[in-house]
Amino acid sequence: MKNVVSSTKAPGAIGPYSQAISANGFVFASGQLPIDPSTGSFPEGGITAQSEQSIKNLDAILAEAGCGLDDVVKTTVFLKDIRDFSVMNEMYARYFKQQCPARSAVEVANLPKGAMVEIEAIAVLPK
């Protein structure tokens, strides 16, 4: 059985998809753009601020599902410019400190709304 997960503390879906789906003890969170849900805009501060906002959006969605960043087992980071990897990685390390999830990071030609980064995650629900 699958359940739709939705949080008002993260930006709503901008297409025919869910913020996340929980199924069989896992939460599959859609890629999160760095949109501040209170303003509807990207935060100022470049890749650092955008990476942090994407992670905060993931955290809000995971909390709605009943888990958190410590429960994440896999992330995928989409970067508009792979040269931003080290700066993004520095911010990422502030949130994922122990038992870090598996991760892929790739450069993409473009992201929705001109974002510099988008991050998706898979988490396990605590028993």
Neighbours of 95 (CB within 10 A): 16
5, 64 Cβ separation under 8 angstroms: yes
Q: How far is CA 82 from CA 78, 86, 87, 117, in A?
A: 9, 9, 10, 10
Global confidence as pTM? 0.96
Domains of the chain listed by start with CATH number: 2-124 (3.30.1330.40)
User: pLDDT value at position 14?
Assistant: 79
Mean pLDDT by 10 residues, the chain (127 residues): 96 93 98 97 98 98 98 98 98 95 98 97 95
d(CA 9, CA 100): 24
Give the list of residues 6+ apart from residue 20 with CB closer than 8 angstroms, or none.
4, 5, 6, 27, 28, 29, 30, 61, 62, 64, 65
